[in-house]
Structure 1
Amino acid sequence: MTDTTATTATTETSPRDLLYSDTEDDLRAAVRSLLADRADARTVLGRIEGDVPYVPGLWEALGGGIGAAGLLVPERLGGQGASHREAAVVLEELGRAVTPVPFLTGAVVATETLLALGADGGPVAELLTALASGERVAVLAVPLSTAPAGGGVRSGPVPAVADAVAADVLLVPRADGLYAVPAADAVITPQSSLDLTRPLAVVDADGAAGVRLAGADAAAAAVRRGLLAGAGLLASEQLGLAEWCLEETVRHTGERHQFNRPVGSFQALKHRMAQLWLELVGARAAARAAADALATGAPDAALTVAVAQAYCSKTAVRAAEECVQLHGGIGMTWEHPAHLALKRAKSDQTALGSAGRHHDAIASLVDLPAPE
């Protein structure tokens, strides 16, 4: 991640570039092709019936083959040396397909947390190298609902840790610092979750020794940075999900006929889809701004992330609800993937801070007092 002090002047004097680069378009095409081949809707629907939703071999192909696992990791540690913008493109595609992979939790939140500790050598650098190759998966042991400013130390079992069942290493915040604990040494108990494509678990690592990566102050700052990056890029996942919902709804209403005409030609439905398209335009701007702010180390990154989450989380839920409703009876069936999108959108609405928490963060960051 670029040093904030080195980019402050540029950020203040030039507008953010929200357009996709050729590299980002190529990455999108590669990820979309892989998901269409290995994790289409039928495959994902079939996997959520079992104990774990992850498609065998998919993470190896995405994380190691395409290199998505190491996008944020410097090249000297075996990563791609890319930025949050490229990671955001991957998350857009994962959101479109509601793909069950530990990318957000592992390649973004956990990786960014480790990067904040410095990677000049020692166990942090070794772990980042392993994560960049896709051979290992690390997960930060905090509840999925934890907001960027709320990643404090918890004692005892930690509930609702996303993708803990897929982790090889757990990053555990403790009173005296951050520890890397082998997942095999912790007690991981799966929980029932609304979104079956992003499994949750209770993690109890109190009895595991682990390797101390940083002291208390450095650990707290690193966890905040990891959660901030996760919240900012979660907006891109929500954007991708909402885009798929609108595209699928337009396709269905164009093919479904009533009274000898496509139902999508009815004015009431056209207005609803047009309004949703307008909301998606705003969501795309907010999500891209958050990804760019994180990539450039912009001084207003925290504010931009809060705005993106406050807006995109609601847009994704609205798009998924419209998708289910405008599909009629088929939208309510288990066989159609619309319910996967709705459940992911509702789960994402509380992940890494609710919209209300982000509204509070915006008010605090711009010194806007709350109403009495």
Structure 2
Amino acid sequence: MSRLQAEHLYKVFGRRPEDAVRQLQGGADRTELRADGTTAAVIDASIEVDEGQIFVVMGLSGSGKSTLLRMLNGLLEPTAGTVRFDGQDLTSLSGKELRRVRSEKISMVFQHFALFPHRSVLENAAYGLEVQGVPRAERERRATEALALTGLEGWEKSWPDELSGGMQQRVGLARALATDADLLLMDESFSALDPLIRRDMQDQLLELQKTLKKTIVFITHDLNEAMRLGDKIAVMRDGRIVQTGSAEDILVRPANDYVASFIQDVDRTKVLTAGAVMDEVGTVLGSTTDKGTKLGTAAEFRAAAPATVGVDTPLAELFVPCSTSTVPVAVTDAQGELVGAVPVAKLLAVLGEPGRPEPAAEAAAPATAAKGKVIAGA
């Protein structure tokens, strides 16, 4: 079920922003507007985030992703468009009403920690609850629980400058979790961390999400981070969302040449799964192997296949079995039912050059993408 919807959002800075929106709607690009001293940061952006989903917005610096995030909780007022959370139009709220929603329902985790140096770790984690007016004993109890969730049990009385960068970011995450907000907005939250600490924080977020099942919008410029964390990913360029889909959709069916070039260095063996690239099982049933064995039934095919794997098996594990037989690898679902096959030619094709851009309608609903998923450890 969808919890957050942004529809046709525009954010224009400069003179006569409403006129600029009309020009953009009429086909103008932001280069033309810049000549008049107007900057179009976000152009006609629409997203839909389901309950319990990590929705990643990915793009290079200046693509508009952070501006989009700030419109989702009202830190920036859209020039045009609407934002709805649990059916409530946030763009129509008064300042007081919007502050209440931000205090109770939406938490934000910043890139640079944003901790108060004169407050202890516990006081920092409890700050959002203090703003809500929660009694001290209750907010300290909830903050202590949140710190334990993020691996900081025993550090409650420490000061921020006594913590490493990764630990400080955990305090920021604990502060967001302590309020029990329905929506977490994370703006480049791990990008200031060293690579190993960054990966540890990604692990932490994925582990917490298994239990808490928060609705999360995560902003990043790092493609590998997006592929690792995102249940759904939106790719932005020059203020526009140019493709939205799962990691499999984007890797196998890039919407245009820009997306194809953006993803060309991704190690697909660590991201794609057998279920994401498999052919339907009907393509092999009824065929004959090079040794004359007929594969008329599912049982005959599974007996001849060099291996049987689940839909979540990473492609890296298919190379050996594919190299030992001309028969495709069999793919089964969680119930052990045969659902597809991965022939060696398909495996090599997927791991070769990035796929050709496809029309958006085709890219939005691939026949097989729903059967696989991203491997969390990619």
What TM-score do you get using the length of structure 1 for normalisation?
A: 0.27
Structure with greater helix share of residues: 1
What TM-score do you get using the length of structure 2 for normalisation?
A: 0.27
* Structure (1 or 2) with the larger CA radius of gyration: 2
Structure with greater strand share of residues: 2
